[in-house]
Each structure stands twice: as structure tokens, then as C-alpha cells.
Amino acid sequence: MASPLTRREVNREATLVDIRQQARELLVADGPAGVTLRPIARAVGLTAPALYRYYDSREDLLLDLIADLYDELSTSMERARDSVPAEDLKGRFMAVTMSFRTWARAHPREFELVFATPLGDPGQCKDARLEACGQRFGGVFQGLFVELWMRRPFPVPADHELDPRLRDQLHQWATDNAIPLPLGALEVFLVCWVRLYGMISLEVFGHLSFALTDVDPMFDAMLAEVANQLGLPEYAEHAPRLNRR
Amino acid sequence: MASPLTRREVNREATLVDIRQQARELLVADGPAGVTLRPIARAVGLTAPALYRYYDSREDLLLDLIADLYDELSTSMERARDSVPAEDLKGRFMAVTMSFRTWARAHPREFELVFATPLGDPGQCKDARLEACGQRFGGVFQGLFVELWMRRPFPVPADHELDPRLRDQLHQWATDNAIPLPLGALEVFLVCWVRLYGMISLEVFGHLSFALTDVDPMFDAMLAEVANQLGLPEYAEHAPRLNRR
DNA sequence: CGTAAACAGTGAACGGCGTTAATCACGGCG
DNA sequence: CGCCGTGATTAACGCCGTTCACTGTTTACG
């Protein structure tokens, strides 16, 4: 049988993607503040109030846009990962990380919207969608990290070396998400995440320009350092196939 | 002789600080987007167009507000530093760093405005004032770092270990600002800055909540790690006076 | 098949926004 | 005193998000 979607539903879906597309073009052109209803509506061939048939509010539309961008980023990172053979874990790690940075530099406005919009003080996300998107995004790093550790464990702090308060939180996190890693490895993961995010957002927001005109070499150096900490030897750099399992 | 300020000029100055004060209250209450002219004017006892006697535009007012916040942060960091005896460099380092984080956590809206507002793509700051404020802010860390290295040098990468592209930029930076440090030390400085900024902005923007409910212990751990890298021994923790000069 | 309900869309309107223009009052200086 | 720069006002323009009353069109059901 054919699709159970009525003609109206398919139209609706098309309009929805059209709206998001135009919203994004505005975002790119004028920044987050430039994403306003009337120009979006005009570009889609509607009037502003019509958008309320699709979103409860501008805020709601923005949330959907953020989710879209999150997904795009996650997809591009996954693709970068899968473009490297599964045995070459260092290659995959590098590919994913550089894909993150590449996306951020190519889409600073989008990066700003996704990563520098405070998620409200209630500690919870504003939206379950975003929670899921963040999960997927983090999962790319996390999955790679787990695989990395499983295949060839690297030195991590022992449990007793961790601050008990930190240890408890890491334990909670590990059990909640069934992450089969020692707590020390989780701490290493977080430290890596901090360095990666810190570097990229500093770069995108221009807070490294006081010292550097081109962040590339410093980013490469940081990546190499992190890779080293993760037990990914340097000699595999130009011959990634060497470290067979 | 009395002040060369006419009564009008002193009034003007008072109104200016009043404006910034009210603007900040709006910032705290409603976030950057809530800083709008009419409510500010109302709170100061004026109408919106009157503000144009004081600022060219809302943007200009925001810039001044940012500069104010920058200064407040710098001042509080300097005070934290000076509250620790000059010989206790580790204590000063800790004090300054924690003061930064404390300010960011206590003023998330302000932090967002100051640190997550992209400074325009032209590479240059929008404003010379901000340049100066950033200089002062960074100077607190930088001054401490220089003093640290001068008094007791810690291991840093040698010049030939640095990526030539990175080395050249660091050299440029060092000569432009007359920083009497080896290039490797500058790289260490940047890495520390990345970790510090990364951690704090991740915390403020809620991008660590996926794993941690309380960032305190992880921040402490990072601080300890950084201090260690900077040759600040741990045993000074509870007896900061031990390492006399 | 026909009809009622659900849906998509419109134009008008409200209050608020940044900003400009015309206008008035007054303090400081010659 | 007179004059000019300054501080402040009101009115207005065009934009914004959002609501409301209203009109067609599509879907679903008896």
C-alpha cells in the first residue's frame, strides 16, 4: 500500500523543512538575532502569523533549528569517522575531531547558536529534542573513546586517586549510561572534551587572536598531545595502517 | 583649585553610571537580549531618545557595559591575587583562577555577554576600549605566569620541539608585547588558558551537565593538574608559606 | 455523496523595539 | 545680555513577536 500520509501532511513536512532552511540562511547572514519571523515567512511565501501553524513561537522554531544543526554536525562527524578504516582508531579520532573544528569554523553563526546559548538555569534542557541531539553528538566522541580504551587501554588515574566527590559523580554517570569504562578513563574523557571545546570556542569567538593569527598549528599540537595521552602513538601519523589489531 | 568639571559634566558622569547600572540590572534579569533602551531610560527617569545624548546606539551602550564588566572581573581577580602574600605564587595562582570561576558562576549573564559574544570576523575588536580591557584581563594571568616562570622555571618544550608555524606566531606575540618568556612557556600558557576557559564556559553554558552535577571537584582537579605542570608543588596546599623565596 | 470538522492561511491590530527629526529649555561663556 | 551647545521631550517610522477574527480548502465520517 502507498504511504499513509495525506497530501496535506506531505505538504506540511515540505513547508517545515523550507522554514528551517530559510531560518538558517538568515542565521548565517545576520546571526542569531537576525532569525526573525517575517523575513522567514516572506522567503517561504507566507505571512508571519502562518508560521504559528508550524511552531508555537519563535523560540520553538529556534529550538528546532538548533536540533537540525546539531544533527548536521553529528552526521558530518560520523561520516568523517566512517571514512577511516575501523582499525585505524587514531585516524578516526583525528578525523572526528578535525571534522568538529572544521564545521565550527565553517559555520561560526551556527556554532554560536548551538554551543553558546545557555541552556537555562534549571539544569535541565529546555527541550527533550536537544537532550537527544546532545546525546548523539557526545556519543560520537564517547563511542570512539570507549572503543579506544577497549582495544588498547591507556594509563588513567586509579579510582583512589580521584577526588571522592568527583568519583561519585563519574560513577553515577557511568551507571546511568552503561559506560563500561573505569572512572579514571571518564575523567580523562572529560578533560579531553574540555580542551577540545575550549580551543574551538576560543577560536570561533576570537579569544585567541590576542596571541595567534592562525590557530591551526596550536590545534594540531593539542590534538597530538591528546592523542598521545590516549595511547595513540605518533609514528602512525603518516602510516595509519601499521597498528593492526 | 577645585575640579575643572562644570556642574553639567558631573551630572553627565552620574547619569552615565546610572545608565550602565540600570542596563546591567536588565542584563541580569533578562539576559543580553533584555537590555533595551526604553526600560533603561525609564529606570533612569528619561525617555529613550535621551539616551542618544550619551551613546551613539544601543550597540555602543552594550560595548561600554561589556567594558565595565571586564573591568569588574579584572578588579576582582587582582584583588584576589593581592589578598595572598606575594611569595606564595601558588596561592596567588589559585586565588586568581578561582576568582575567575567564582565571578563567572555568580554572573552567568555577564559572562555570556563578555565571553560568548563573537567579536566580529574582521579579526579586530569592534572597539579599542575592549582591546584594552581584554589586555588588562589577560594581563592578570600573564603577569602571574611570567613571575612564576621567572622565580622558578618549570619544564617547557624547547623551541625546536614546537611546530615552526606555531613558533613563529608565539615569537611575534612575545616580541610585540615584550614578554620575557621562552616560546615553549607561551605555549604552556595558552594551553592553560584553553583549559581554564573551556572548563568555565562549559560549566556556565551547561555543557558539562551531561556528566556532572557539581563541577567543583573536577575544576579543583584540573587546577591541581595545571599547578603541577607549572611547578607548583602540592605539599604547599595547606601550608602556603613554606616555599619562601 | 455530502457535510462537519480540522487545517492552512490572511489581514488587521497591539504593544514594544531602535532610531530619527523637530522642537523646546536651560546652563555656561563671550 | 545674548548666544550656542547641551539635555531632554514628543511624534513618527519601520521593524519585531504575537493574537484575533475571518476565509477558504482538505480531510474524515455517517
Q: Which three cell numbers stand for residue B199?
A: 572548563
B105 touches strand C (CB under 7 A): no
Query: What distance in Å separates the CA atoms of residue A5 and residue A78, rounded to the nearest whole number?
Result: 30
Residue B124 is predicted with a pLDDT of 53
How do residues B27-75 score in pLDDT, each as one tens digit?
Answer: 999 999 999 999 999 999 999 999 999 999 999 999 999 999 999 999 9
What is the C-alpha end-to-end distance of chain A, expressed in Å? 48
Orientation of helix B128-151 relative to helix B58-82, angle to 10°:
20
pLDDT at B237: 47
A108 touches B: beta carbon within 8 Å: yes
- Annotate B100-154 with DSSP letters as a single string: HHHHHHH-HHHHHHHHSS---TTSS-S-HHHHHHHHHHHHHHHHHHHHHHHHS--
User: Tens of pLDDT along B106-142?
Assistant: 999 999 999 987 755 544 556 788 999 999 999 999 9
Supply the pLDDT for residue A129.
Answer: 87
Q: Is the pLDDT of residue A45 over 60?
A: yes
- Tell me if B202 and A197 make a contact (CB, 8 A cut-off): yes
Helices (H), chain A: 7-30, 37-44, 58-82, 89-106, 108-115, 128-151, 164-176, 183-204, 216-229
Q: Does the pLDDT of residue B240 top 50, yes or no? A: no
The pLDDT of residue B204 is: 93
Average pLDDT over residues B85-96: 96
**Which ranges in chain A are annotated with CATH 1.10.10?**
1-55
Contacts of B88 by beta carbon, 8 Å cutoff, 6+ apart: B236, B240, B241, B243
Indicate the pTM of the whole model: 0.92
Higher pLDDT pick, A125 / A91: A91
pLDDT 10s digits, B7-22: 777 789 999 999 999 9
Distance CA B204, CA A120 (A): 10
Separation of alpha carbons B182 and B161, rounded Å: 12
With cell 585567541, the residue in question is A208
> Residue A181 pLDDT more than 50?
yes
Q: What is the DSSP letter of A121?
A: T
Count of CB contacts below 8 A, A vs B? 144
Which residues in A lie closer than 8 A to residue B183 (C-beta atoms)? none
Pick the CATH number of B1-55 from 1.10.10, 1.10.3470, 1.10.3300, 3.40.1000: 1.10.10
DSSP A52: G
Q: How confident is the model at residue A242 (pLDDT cuts 50, 70, 90)?
A: very low
Residue B230 and residue A154: Cα distance in Å, rounded? 24
Q: Using the structure block, give the residue that is written with the C-alpha cell 571518564.
A: A186
**Closest nucleotide to A61, Cα to C1':** D17
The third-level CATH classification (topology) of the domain covering A59-243 is Tetracycline Repressor; domain 2 (1.10.357)
CA of A64 to C1' of D27 (A): 27
Q: Which of B55, B53, B10 lies closest to B35 in space, CA to CA? A: B55
Gap from A27 CA to D14 C1', Å: 21
Q: What is the mean pLDDT of chain A?
A: 91
| pLDDT band at A161; cut points 50, 70, 90 | very high
Which has more pLDDT, B8 or A192? A192
CATH 1.10.357.10 spans which residues of chain A?
Answer: 59-243
The percent of residues above 70 in pLDDT, for chain A, comes to 90
